Amino acid sequence: MSEASSTNLLEMINLTKRFPGVIALNNVSLKVKAGTVHALMGENGAGKSTLMKCLFGIYSMDEGKILLDGKEVSFANSKQALENGVSMVHQELNQVRQQNVMDNIWLGRYPKKGIFIDEKKMYEETSAIFKSLDINIDPRSKVSSLSVSEMQMVEIAKAVSYHSKLIVMDEPTSSLTEKEVNHLFTIIKKLQSENVAIIYISHKMEEILKISDEVTIMRDGQYIATKSAKELTTDEIIKLMVGRDLSQRFPEKINQPGEVTLRVKDLTAETEGSFSTINFELRKGEILGIAGLVGSKRTEVMEALFGIRGLKSGSIELNGKVVHNHSPQHAIKNGFALVTEERRTTGIYPQLSISFNSIIANLPQYRKGLFLSESKVHDDTKWVIDSMKVKTPSQNTPIGSLSGGNQQKVIIGRWLLTKPEVLLLDEPTRGIDVGAKFEIYQLINELAAEGKGIIMISSEMPELLGVTDRILVMSNGRAAGIVETKTTTQEEIMRLAALY
Protein backbone atom coordinates (compact mmCIF):
# COMPACT_ATOMS: atom_id res chain seq x y z
CA MET A 1 0.00 0.00 0.00
CA SER A 2 1.20 3.48 -0.76
CA GLU A 3 1.21 6.70 1.20
CA ALA A 4 -2.11 8.21 0.09
CA SER A 5 -1.89 11.41 -1.91
CA SER A 6 -4.07 14.29 -0.73
CA THR A 7 -5.17 15.13 -4.29
CA ASN A 8 -8.45 13.77 -5.62
CA LEU A 9 -7.78 12.71 -9.20
CA LEU A 10 -11.38 11.57 -9.64
CA GLU A 11 -14.60 12.78 -8.01
CA MET A 12 -17.93 11.19 -8.88
CA ILE A 13 -20.63 13.22 -7.15
CA ASN A 14 -24.23 12.07 -6.50
CA LEU A 15 -24.53 9.80 -9.55
CA THR A 16 -27.93 8.30 -10.36
CA LYS A 17 -28.61 5.82 -13.16
CA ARG A 18 -32.02 4.34 -13.97
CA PHE A 19 -32.98 1.41 -16.17
CA PRO A 20 -36.57 0.36 -16.89
CA GLY A 21 -37.93 -0.93 -13.57
CA VAL A 22 -34.58 -0.57 -11.73
CA ILE A 23 -32.59 2.24 -10.08
CA ALA A 24 -29.09 0.85 -10.65
CA LEU A 25 -27.32 3.79 -8.94
CA ASN A 26 -28.94 5.98 -6.34
CA ASN A 27 -27.02 9.15 -5.45
CA VAL A 28 -23.57 7.47 -5.37
CA SER A 29 -20.31 9.37 -4.75
CA LEU A 30 -16.70 8.21 -5.08
CA LYS A 31 -13.39 10.04 -4.56
CA VAL A 32 -10.09 8.54 -5.72
CA LYS A 33 -6.68 10.05 -4.95
CA ALA A 34 -3.80 10.06 -7.44
CA GLY A 35 -1.18 7.34 -6.89
CA THR A 36 -3.44 5.15 -4.73
CA VAL A 37 -5.29 1.85 -5.07
CA HIS A 38 -8.96 2.41 -4.29
CA ALA A 39 -10.94 -0.81 -3.89
CA LEU A 40 -14.60 -0.84 -4.92
CA MET A 41 -16.57 -3.61 -3.23
CA GLY A 42 -20.13 -4.86 -3.03
CA GLU A 43 -22.25 -7.88 -3.87
CA ASN A 44 -23.06 -8.58 -7.51
CA GLY A 45 -25.81 -6.15 -8.43
CA ALA A 46 -24.53 -3.55 -5.94
CA GLY A 47 -23.84 -1.13 -8.82
CA LYS A 48 -20.03 -1.25 -9.06
CA SER A 49 -19.87 -2.05 -12.77
CA THR A 50 -22.67 0.42 -13.58
CA LEU A 51 -20.76 3.17 -11.77
CA MET A 52 -17.60 2.38 -13.74
CA LYS A 53 -19.53 2.22 -17.03
CA CYS A 54 -20.87 5.73 -16.31
CA LEU A 55 -17.28 6.89 -15.78
CA PHE A 56 -16.08 5.15 -18.93
CA GLY A 57 -18.79 6.52 -21.24
CA ILE A 58 -20.53 3.16 -21.78
CA TYR A 59 -23.63 4.42 -19.92
CA SER A 60 -24.83 8.00 -19.61
CA MET A 61 -25.78 9.03 -16.07
CA ASP A 62 -29.22 10.50 -15.33
CA GLU A 63 -28.00 12.76 -12.52
CA GLY A 64 -24.73 13.82 -10.91
CA LYS A 65 -21.34 14.94 -12.19
CA ILE A 66 -17.81 13.61 -12.69
CA LEU A 67 -14.64 15.64 -12.08
CA LEU A 68 -11.28 14.46 -13.43
CA ASP A 69 -8.28 16.48 -12.30
CA GLY A 70 -10.76 19.08 -11.02
CA LYS A 71 -12.46 19.52 -14.42
CA GLU A 72 -15.98 18.33 -15.14
CA VAL A 73 -16.10 15.53 -17.74
CA SER A 74 -18.83 13.45 -19.34
CA PHE A 75 -17.44 10.95 -21.84
CA ALA A 76 -19.76 10.02 -24.71
CA ASN A 77 -17.92 6.73 -25.30
CA SER A 78 -14.94 4.68 -24.15
CA LYS A 79 -12.70 6.20 -26.87
CA GLN A 80 -13.11 9.64 -25.26
CA ALA A 81 -12.36 8.17 -21.83
CA LEU A 82 -9.16 6.52 -23.11
CA GLU A 83 -8.04 9.73 -24.83
CA ASN A 84 -8.47 11.52 -21.48
CA GLY A 85 -6.35 9.02 -19.55
CA VAL A 86 -9.09 6.77 -18.14
CA SER A 87 -8.85 3.08 -19.05
CA MET A 88 -10.58 -0.08 -17.90
CA VAL A 89 -9.47 -3.72 -17.78
CA HIS A 90 -12.76 -5.61 -17.98
CA GLN A 91 -13.37 -8.90 -16.18
CA GLU A 92 -14.92 -10.44 -19.30
CA LEU A 93 -12.12 -9.97 -21.83
CA ASN A 94 -13.31 -8.48 -25.13
CA GLN A 95 -10.38 -9.23 -27.42
CA VAL A 96 -10.14 -10.02 -31.14
CA ARG A 97 -8.86 -13.53 -30.61
CA GLN A 98 -7.89 -14.25 -34.23
CA GLN A 99 -5.61 -11.18 -34.32
CA ASN A 100 -2.16 -11.04 -32.78
CA VAL A 101 -1.30 -9.44 -29.45
CA MET A 102 0.10 -6.15 -30.77
CA ASP A 103 -2.89 -5.68 -33.11
CA ASN A 104 -5.15 -5.95 -30.06
CA ILE A 105 -3.13 -3.38 -28.16
CA TRP A 106 -3.01 -0.78 -30.96
CA LEU A 107 -6.38 -1.46 -32.61
CA GLY A 108 -7.87 1.78 -33.93
CA ARG A 109 -4.65 3.79 -33.41
CA TYR A 110 -1.99 1.92 -35.36
CA PRO A 111 1.37 3.70 -35.75
CA LYS A 112 1.67 4.68 -39.43
CA LYS A 113 4.47 5.05 -41.94
CA GLY A 114 2.84 7.11 -44.66
CA ILE A 115 -0.42 5.34 -45.43
CA PHE A 116 0.83 1.96 -44.17
CA ILE A 117 0.85 0.46 -40.69
CA ASP A 118 4.35 0.63 -39.19
CA GLU A 119 4.63 -3.00 -38.00
CA LYS A 120 8.24 -2.51 -36.81
CA LYS A 121 7.33 0.45 -34.59
CA MET A 122 4.26 -1.36 -33.27
CA TYR A 123 6.38 -4.39 -32.36
CA GLU A 124 9.07 -2.25 -30.69
CA GLU A 125 6.54 -0.22 -28.64
CA THR A 126 4.67 -3.34 -27.54
CA SER A 127 7.95 -5.04 -26.58
CA ALA A 128 9.02 -1.95 -24.60
CA ILE A 129 5.74 -1.91 -22.61
CA PHE A 130 5.99 -5.67 -21.98
CA LYS A 131 9.59 -5.28 -20.83
CA SER A 132 8.69 -2.44 -18.44
CA LEU A 133 5.93 -4.60 -16.93
CA ASP A 134 8.01 -7.80 -16.97
CA ILE A 135 5.46 -9.54 -19.23
CA ASN A 136 6.92 -12.46 -21.17
CA ILE A 137 4.60 -12.73 -24.21
CA ASP A 138 5.56 -12.55 -27.91
CA PRO A 139 3.75 -9.48 -29.39
CA ARG A 140 3.23 -11.47 -32.62
CA SER A 141 1.40 -14.37 -30.89
CA LYS A 142 -2.25 -14.88 -31.74
CA VAL A 143 -4.46 -13.93 -28.80
CA SER A 144 -6.34 -17.24 -29.23
CA SER A 145 -3.13 -19.12 -28.36
CA LEU A 146 -2.79 -17.38 -24.97
CA SER A 147 -4.04 -18.55 -21.59
CA VAL A 148 -6.73 -16.48 -19.85
CA SER A 149 -4.11 -15.06 -17.47
CA GLU A 150 -1.88 -14.00 -20.40
CA MET A 151 -4.88 -12.32 -22.09
CA GLN A 152 -5.44 -10.44 -18.80
CA MET A 153 -1.82 -9.22 -18.85
CA VAL A 154 -2.22 -8.03 -22.48
CA GLU A 155 -5.27 -5.96 -21.41
CA ILE A 156 -3.28 -4.38 -18.58
CA ALA A 157 -0.45 -3.56 -21.01
CA LYS A 158 -3.00 -2.00 -23.36
CA ALA A 159 -4.28 0.24 -20.55
CA VAL A 160 -0.69 1.31 -19.79
CA SER A 161 -0.10 2.05 -23.51
CA TYR A 162 -2.67 4.86 -23.29
CA HIS A 163 -0.51 6.59 -20.63
CA SER A 164 -3.55 6.38 -18.36
CA LYS A 165 -3.71 8.36 -15.14
CA LEU A 166 -6.60 6.20 -13.88
CA ILE A 167 -6.98 2.46 -14.57
CA VAL A 168 -10.08 0.51 -13.52
CA MET A 169 -9.35 -3.19 -12.93
CA ASP A 170 -12.48 -5.36 -12.74
CA GLU A 171 -11.73 -8.72 -11.04
CA PRO A 172 -8.17 -8.70 -12.46
CA THR A 173 -7.05 -11.82 -10.57
CA SER A 174 -10.06 -14.09 -11.18
CA SER A 175 -8.02 -16.27 -13.59
CA LEU A 176 -4.53 -15.81 -12.15
CA THR A 177 -2.31 -18.16 -10.16
CA GLU A 178 -0.72 -16.94 -6.92
CA LYS A 179 2.55 -16.24 -8.76
CA GLU A 180 0.70 -14.23 -11.43
CA VAL A 181 -1.22 -12.32 -8.73
CA ASN A 182 2.09 -11.29 -7.15
CA HIS A 183 3.32 -10.19 -10.59
CA LEU A 184 0.16 -8.08 -11.03
CA PHE A 185 0.69 -6.49 -7.62
CA THR A 186 4.26 -5.58 -8.65
CA ILE A 187 2.85 -3.90 -11.78
CA ILE A 188 0.27 -2.02 -9.67
CA LYS A 189 2.98 -0.75 -7.29
CA LYS A 190 5.03 0.44 -10.28
CA LEU A 191 2.01 2.32 -11.66
CA GLN A 192 1.36 3.87 -8.24
CA SER A 193 4.96 5.11 -8.11
CA GLU A 194 4.19 6.93 -11.39
CA ASN A 195 1.16 8.59 -9.69
CA VAL A 196 -1.38 6.46 -11.57
CA ALA A 197 -4.60 5.78 -9.62
CA ILE A 198 -6.13 2.28 -9.67
CA ILE A 199 -9.77 1.49 -9.01
CA TYR A 200 -9.66 -2.17 -8.02
CA ILE A 201 -12.87 -4.23 -8.13
CA SER A 202 -12.57 -7.64 -6.50
CA HIS A 203 -14.43 -10.06 -4.25
CA LYS A 204 -11.20 -11.44 -2.79
CA MET A 205 -10.97 -9.93 0.68
CA GLU A 206 -7.35 -10.90 1.36
CA GLU A 207 -6.24 -9.17 -1.87
CA ILE A 208 -8.23 -6.04 -1.09
CA LEU A 209 -6.67 -5.68 2.35
CA LYS A 210 -3.20 -6.37 0.95
CA ILE A 211 -3.16 -4.03 -2.07
CA SER A 212 -5.61 -1.18 -1.28
CA ASP A 213 -5.19 2.20 0.35
CA GLU A 214 -8.91 2.93 0.63
CA VAL A 215 -12.04 0.82 0.24
CA THR A 216 -15.48 2.03 -0.89
CA ILE A 217 -18.39 -0.31 -0.27
CA MET A 218 -21.68 -0.26 -2.20
CA ARG A 219 -24.94 -2.11 -1.60
CA ASP A 220 -28.12 -2.24 -3.71
CA GLY A 221 -27.02 0.67 -5.92
CA GLN A 222 -26.15 2.90 -2.97
CA TYR A 223 -22.95 4.21 -1.40
CA ILE A 224 -22.39 2.65 2.05
CA ALA A 225 -18.93 3.76 3.26
CA THR A 226 -15.32 4.62 2.39
CA LYS A 227 -12.66 3.51 4.86
CA SER A 228 -8.90 3.18 5.03
CA ALA A 229 -7.92 -0.42 4.24
CA LYS A 230 -5.74 -0.43 7.39
CA GLU A 231 -8.86 0.00 9.55
CA LEU A 232 -10.83 -2.87 8.01
CA THR A 233 -11.08 -6.61 8.59
CA THR A 234 -12.65 -9.26 6.32
CA ASP A 235 -15.64 -9.61 8.66
CA GLU A 236 -16.26 -5.84 8.69
CA ILE A 237 -16.16 -5.70 4.87
CA ILE A 238 -18.63 -8.60 4.57
CA LYS A 239 -20.99 -6.97 7.10
CA LEU A 240 -20.93 -3.66 5.18
CA MET A 241 -21.38 -5.44 1.83
CA VAL A 242 -24.31 -7.65 2.72
CA GLY A 243 -25.86 -5.66 5.55
CA ARG A 244 -25.76 -8.75 7.75
CA ASP A 245 -23.24 -10.92 9.54
CA LEU A 246 -22.08 -13.77 7.30
CA SER A 247 -20.39 -15.98 9.86
CA GLN A 248 -21.38 -19.08 7.89
CA ARG A 249 -19.66 -19.02 4.49
CA PHE A 250 -21.00 -22.40 3.37
CA PRO A 251 -24.47 -23.89 3.77
CA GLU A 252 -24.96 -26.99 5.90
CA LYS A 253 -24.54 -30.11 3.77
CA ILE A 254 -27.82 -31.94 3.15
CA ASN A 255 -26.88 -34.36 0.35
CA GLN A 256 -26.42 -38.10 0.86
CA PRO A 257 -24.26 -39.74 -1.86
CA GLY A 258 -25.79 -43.05 -3.04
CA GLU A 259 -24.80 -45.69 -5.58
CA VAL A 260 -22.24 -45.07 -8.34
CA THR A 261 -23.81 -43.31 -11.35
CA LEU A 262 -20.70 -42.41 -13.42
CA ARG A 263 -17.55 -44.44 -14.03
CA VAL A 264 -14.63 -42.89 -15.89
CA LYS A 265 -11.99 -45.46 -16.92
CA ASP A 266 -8.51 -44.74 -18.31
CA LEU A 267 -9.61 -41.54 -20.06
CA THR A 268 -6.81 -40.26 -22.32
CA ALA A 269 -7.03 -37.18 -24.52
CA GLU A 270 -6.68 -37.25 -28.28
CA THR A 271 -4.29 -34.28 -28.03
CA GLU A 272 -0.68 -35.08 -27.16
CA GLY A 273 0.45 -33.48 -23.88
CA SER A 274 -3.06 -33.15 -22.44
CA PHE A 275 -4.47 -35.59 -19.82
CA SER A 276 -4.01 -39.37 -19.66
CA THR A 277 -5.36 -42.45 -17.82
CA ILE A 278 -7.91 -40.59 -15.69
CA ASN A 279 -9.99 -42.87 -13.46
CA PHE A 280 -12.74 -41.92 -11.01
CA GLU A 281 -16.31 -42.67 -9.95
CA LEU A 282 -19.17 -40.30 -9.16
CA ARG A 283 -22.11 -41.26 -6.97
CA LYS A 284 -25.73 -40.14 -7.24
CA GLY A 285 -26.17 -37.10 -5.02
CA GLU A 286 -22.40 -36.57 -4.66
CA ILE A 287 -20.43 -33.36 -5.16
CA LEU A 288 -16.98 -34.32 -6.48
CA GLY A 289 -14.47 -31.48 -6.57
CA ILE A 290 -11.55 -31.27 -8.99
CA ALA A 291 -8.50 -29.43 -7.64
CA GLY A 292 -5.20 -28.68 -9.33
CA LEU A 293 -2.82 -25.91 -10.29
CA VAL A 294 -3.20 -23.95 -13.53
CA GLY A 295 -2.09 -26.25 -16.35
CA SER A 296 -3.18 -29.43 -14.56
CA LYS A 297 -5.77 -30.04 -17.38
CA ARG A 298 -8.86 -29.98 -15.12
CA THR A 299 -10.99 -28.12 -17.68
CA GLU A 300 -9.80 -30.41 -20.48
CA VAL A 301 -11.12 -33.47 -18.61
CA MET A 302 -14.47 -31.73 -18.06
CA GLU A 303 -14.68 -30.77 -21.76
CA ALA A 304 -13.87 -34.34 -22.82
CA LEU A 305 -16.72 -35.65 -20.65
CA PHE A 306 -19.01 -33.18 -22.42
CA GLY A 307 -17.86 -34.06 -25.95
CA ILE A 308 -16.00 -30.82 -26.67
CA ARG A 309 -12.61 -32.59 -26.80
CA GLY A 310 -11.75 -35.84 -28.53
CA LEU A 311 -10.55 -38.96 -26.71
CA LYS A 312 -7.74 -41.29 -27.73
CA SER A 313 -8.88 -44.05 -25.38
CA GLY A 314 -10.85 -44.85 -22.26
CA SER A 315 -14.55 -45.14 -21.48
CA ILE A 316 -17.39 -43.25 -19.82
CA GLU A 317 -20.16 -45.31 -18.18
CA LEU A 318 -23.41 -43.81 -16.96
CA ASN A 319 -25.64 -46.08 -14.87
CA GLY A 320 -23.70 -49.15 -16.06
CA LYS A 321 -23.98 -48.31 -19.75
CA VAL A 322 -21.07 -47.04 -21.91
CA VAL A 323 -21.89 -43.64 -23.44
CA HIS A 324 -20.14 -41.98 -26.38
CA ASN A 325 -20.14 -38.21 -26.05
CA HIS A 326 -18.73 -37.35 -29.49
CA SER A 327 -20.23 -33.84 -29.30
CA PRO A 328 -22.06 -31.62 -26.78
CA GLN A 329 -25.34 -32.64 -28.48
CA HIS A 330 -24.58 -36.31 -27.73
CA ALA A 331 -23.57 -35.38 -24.16
CA ILE A 332 -26.84 -33.50 -23.54
CA LYS A 333 -28.84 -36.42 -24.94
CA ASN A 334 -26.88 -38.76 -22.67
CA GLY A 335 -27.71 -36.72 -19.54
CA PHE A 336 -24.68 -34.45 -19.15
CA ALA A 337 -24.69 -30.64 -18.69
CA LEU A 338 -21.73 -28.21 -18.55
CA VAL A 339 -21.51 -24.74 -16.99
CA THR A 340 -18.30 -23.30 -18.47
CA GLU A 341 -15.65 -21.15 -16.76
CA GLU A 342 -15.72 -18.30 -19.29
CA ARG A 343 -19.30 -17.16 -18.72
CA ARG A 344 -19.33 -14.29 -21.21
CA THR A 345 -17.41 -16.06 -24.00
CA THR A 346 -18.97 -19.52 -23.89
CA GLY A 347 -21.94 -19.30 -21.53
CA ILE A 348 -24.35 -16.54 -22.52
CA TYR A 349 -25.76 -14.54 -25.41
CA PRO A 350 -25.37 -11.18 -23.63
CA GLN A 351 -27.60 -9.08 -25.90
CA LEU A 352 -30.47 -11.59 -25.83
CA SER A 353 -33.15 -12.06 -23.22
CA ILE A 354 -33.13 -14.18 -20.08
CA SER A 355 -35.89 -16.17 -21.75
CA PHE A 356 -33.72 -17.03 -24.80
CA ASN A 357 -30.71 -17.83 -22.60
CA SER A 358 -32.86 -20.11 -20.41
CA ILE A 359 -34.18 -22.33 -23.21
CA ILE A 360 -31.31 -22.39 -25.74
CA ALA A 361 -29.84 -25.75 -24.60
CA ASN A 362 -33.23 -27.45 -24.92
CA LEU A 363 -34.78 -25.88 -28.04
CA PRO A 364 -36.34 -29.01 -29.60
CA GLN A 365 -38.59 -29.32 -26.52
CA TYR A 366 -40.28 -26.01 -27.37
CA ARG A 367 -41.02 -26.62 -31.05
CA LYS A 368 -44.67 -26.44 -32.05
CA GLY A 369 -44.64 -27.04 -35.81
CA LEU A 370 -42.53 -24.25 -37.31
CA PHE A 371 -42.82 -22.10 -34.19
CA LEU A 372 -41.90 -22.23 -30.53
CA SER A 373 -44.57 -22.77 -27.88
CA GLU A 374 -44.67 -19.34 -26.23
CA SER A 375 -46.52 -20.61 -23.17
CA LYS A 376 -43.97 -23.39 -22.54
CA VAL A 377 -41.07 -20.95 -23.07
CA HIS A 378 -42.73 -18.51 -20.63
CA ASP A 379 -43.40 -21.23 -18.01
CA ASP A 380 -39.88 -22.68 -18.14
CA THR A 381 -38.24 -19.24 -18.00
CA LYS A 382 -40.44 -18.43 -14.98
CA TRP A 383 -39.27 -21.69 -13.39
CA VAL A 384 -35.61 -20.70 -13.94
CA ILE A 385 -36.15 -17.21 -12.48
CA ASP A 386 -38.17 -18.45 -9.48
CA SER A 387 -36.23 -21.61 -8.58
CA MET A 388 -32.80 -20.03 -9.11
CA LYS A 389 -33.91 -16.79 -7.34
CA VAL A 390 -32.75 -14.63 -10.28
CA LYS A 391 -33.06 -10.88 -9.63
CA THR A 392 -34.45 -9.34 -12.84
CA PRO A 393 -37.16 -6.85 -13.89
CA SER A 394 -38.59 -9.30 -16.48
CA GLN A 395 -38.02 -12.38 -18.64
CA ASN A 396 -37.21 -10.09 -21.58
CA THR A 397 -34.31 -8.32 -19.85
CA PRO A 398 -31.01 -8.89 -21.75
CA ILE A 399 -28.96 -11.32 -19.67
CA GLY A 400 -25.84 -9.16 -20.20
CA SER A 401 -27.37 -6.44 -18.00
CA LEU A 402 -27.64 -8.79 -14.99
CA SER A 403 -24.95 -9.14 -12.33
CA GLY A 404 -22.48 -12.03 -12.69
CA GLY A 405 -24.17 -14.05 -9.95
CA ASN A 406 -27.58 -13.72 -11.58
CA GLN A 407 -26.16 -14.64 -15.01
CA GLN A 408 -24.67 -17.78 -13.46
CA LYS A 409 -28.01 -18.73 -11.89
CA VAL A 410 -29.73 -18.44 -15.30
CA ILE A 411 -27.06 -20.68 -16.88
CA ILE A 412 -27.46 -23.33 -14.16
CA GLY A 413 -31.26 -23.11 -14.57
CA ARG A 414 -30.89 -23.52 -18.36
CA TRP A 415 -28.99 -26.77 -17.92
CA LEU A 416 -31.41 -28.10 -15.32
CA LEU A 417 -34.18 -27.78 -17.93
CA THR A 418 -32.34 -30.47 -19.93
CA LYS A 419 -32.88 -32.79 -16.89
CA PRO A 420 -29.25 -33.91 -16.61
CA GLU A 421 -28.01 -36.74 -14.42
CA VAL A 422 -24.47 -35.34 -14.28
CA LEU A 423 -23.88 -31.61 -13.87
CA LEU A 424 -20.35 -30.36 -14.71
CA LEU A 425 -19.44 -27.00 -13.13
CA ASP A 426 -16.20 -25.26 -14.14
CA GLU A 427 -15.34 -22.48 -11.63
CA PRO A 428 -19.07 -21.86 -10.92
CA THR A 429 -18.47 -18.91 -8.58
CA ARG A 430 -15.68 -17.15 -10.50
CA GLY A 431 -16.15 -13.37 -10.26
CA ILE A 432 -19.17 -13.71 -7.98
CA ASP A 433 -19.47 -11.94 -4.63
CA VAL A 434 -19.66 -13.51 -1.21
CA GLY A 435 -23.47 -13.25 -0.85
CA ALA A 436 -24.24 -14.67 -4.32
CA LYS A 437 -21.63 -17.40 -3.76
CA PHE A 438 -23.57 -18.64 -0.74
CA GLU A 439 -26.73 -18.86 -2.89
CA ILE A 440 -24.87 -20.83 -5.61
CA TYR A 441 -23.44 -23.19 -2.94
CA GLN A 442 -26.96 -23.69 -1.58
CA LEU A 443 -28.21 -24.45 -5.07
CA ILE A 444 -25.42 -27.01 -5.69
CA ASN A 445 -26.19 -28.61 -2.32
CA GLU A 446 -29.92 -28.84 -3.08
CA LEU A 447 -29.30 -30.33 -6.55
CA ALA A 448 -27.07 -33.01 -5.01
CA ALA A 449 -29.75 -33.69 -2.37
CA GLU A 450 -32.17 -34.34 -5.27
CA GLY A 451 -29.81 -37.04 -6.57
CA LYS A 452 -27.84 -35.17 -9.25
CA GLY A 453 -24.20 -36.18 -9.61
CA ILE A 454 -22.11 -32.99 -9.59
CA ILE A 455 -18.47 -32.51 -10.65
CA MET A 456 -17.08 -29.09 -9.75
CA ILE A 457 -13.74 -27.52 -10.65
CA SER A 458 -12.59 -24.74 -8.35
CA SER A 459 -9.32 -22.88 -7.81
CA GLU A 460 -10.50 -21.72 -4.37
CA MET A 461 -9.42 -24.21 -1.74
CA PRO A 462 -11.90 -23.07 0.96
CA GLU A 463 -14.72 -23.53 -1.60
CA LEU A 464 -13.69 -27.11 -2.39
CA LEU A 465 -13.37 -27.94 1.31
CA GLY A 466 -16.68 -26.24 2.15
CA VAL A 467 -18.88 -27.68 -0.61
CA THR A 468 -17.65 -31.08 -1.87
CA ASP A 469 -17.81 -34.67 -0.58
CA ARG A 470 -14.59 -35.89 -2.23
CA ILE A 471 -11.85 -34.15 -4.23
CA LEU A 472 -10.00 -35.49 -7.28
CA VAL A 473 -6.59 -33.78 -7.40
CA MET A 474 -5.07 -33.27 -10.88
CA SER A 475 -1.38 -32.74 -11.50
CA ASN A 476 0.07 -32.09 -14.96
CA GLY A 477 -2.65 -34.02 -16.81
CA ARG A 478 -2.79 -36.95 -14.42
CA ALA A 479 -5.01 -37.93 -11.49
CA ALA A 480 -2.70 -37.58 -8.49
CA GLY A 481 -5.25 -38.90 -6.02
CA ILE A 482 -8.79 -38.71 -4.63
CA VAL A 483 -9.28 -37.51 -1.05
CA GLU A 484 -12.24 -37.43 1.34
CA THR A 485 -13.15 -33.79 1.93
CA LYS A 486 -13.97 -34.34 5.63
CA THR A 487 -10.55 -35.71 6.46
CA THR A 488 -8.19 -33.95 4.01
CA THR A 489 -6.21 -30.73 4.46
CA GLN A 490 -5.10 -27.92 2.15
CA GLU A 491 -1.53 -29.17 2.62
CA GLU A 492 -2.39 -32.68 1.39
CA ILE A 493 -4.21 -31.28 -1.67
CA MET A 494 -1.28 -28.97 -2.54
CA ARG A 495 1.20 -31.86 -2.13
CA LEU A 496 -0.82 -34.00 -4.57
CA ALA A 497 -1.26 -31.08 -6.99
CA ALA A 498 2.52 -30.75 -7.25
CA LEU A 499 3.15 -34.52 -7.54
CA TYR A 500 3.92 -34.76 -11.30
What per-residue confidence (pLDDT) applies to 93? 67
- Strand-pairing partners, residue 255, are none
Check: CB of residue 61 under 8 Å from CB of residue 221: no
Distance CA 484, CA 141 (A): 42
Give pLDDT, residue 175: 67
User: How far are the Cα atoms of 11, 363, 447 from residue 444, in angstroms, in the given order?
Assistant: 41, 24, 5
Residue-by-residue pLDDT tens, the chain, 500 positions? 544 445 899 999 999 998 876 788 999 999 999 999 999 998 766 888 899 999 999 999 999 999 999 999 999 998 899 999 999 887 666 778 888 999 988 988 888 888 888 889 999 999 999 998 888 999 999 988 888 778 888 888 888 888 899 999 988 887 677 788 888 899 999 999 999 999 999 877 888 999 999 999 998 899 999 999 999 988 788 778 877 555 567 889 999 999 999 999 999 999 888 999 999 999 999 999 999 877 789 999 999 999 999 999 999 999 999 999 999 999 999 999 999 887 666 678 888 999 999 988 878 788 877 788 888 899 999 999 988 888 888 999 999 888 878 888 898 889 888 889 999 999 988 777 677 788 889 989 999 999 999 999 998 888 899 999 999 999 989 999 999 999 998 889 988 987 87
Residue 343 confidence (pLDDT):
67
Compute, in degrees rounded to 10, the torsion defined by CA atoms 296, 300, 302, 307: -170
What is the three-state SS of the chain?
CCCCCCCEEEEEEEEEEEECCEEEEEEEEEEEECCCEEEEECCCCCCHHHHHHHHCCCCCCCEEEEEECCEEECCCCHHHHHHCCEEEECCCCCCCCCCEHHHHHHCCCCCEECCEECHHHHHHHHHHHHHHCCCCCCCCCEHHHCCHHHHHHHHHHHHHHCCCCEEEEECCCCCCCHHHHHHHHHHHHHHHHCCCEEEEECCCHHHHHHHCCEEEEEECCEEEEEEEHHHCCHHHHHHHHHCCCCCCCCCCCCCCCCCEEEEEEEEEECCCCCCCCEEEEEECCCEEEEECCCCCCHHHHHHHHCCCCCEEEEEEEECCEEECCCCHHHHHHCCEEEECCCHHHHHCCCCCEHHHHHHHHHHHHHEECCEECHHHHHHHHHHHHHHCCCCCCCCCCEHHHCCHHHHHHHHHHHHHCCCCCEEEEECCCCCCCHHHHHHHHHHHHHHHHCCCEEEEECCCHHHHHHHCCEEEEEECCEEEEEEECCCCCHHHHHHHHCCC
- State whether the Cα torsion 110-114-115-117 is positive or negative: negative
| Type of residue found at 200 | Y
Is the whole-model pTM more than 0.75?
no
Q: What is the pLDDT of residue 1?
A: 53
Which pLDDT value is given to residue 372? 82
- Which pLDDT score, from 0 to 100, does residue 66 have? 96
The angle, 0 to 180 degrees and rounded to 10, between the axes of the packed helices 404-416 and 374-387 is: 120
What domains appear along the chain, each with residue ranges and CATH number? 8-242 (3.40.50.300), 260-497 (3.40.50.300)
CB atoms under 10 Å from CB of 245, counted, come to 9
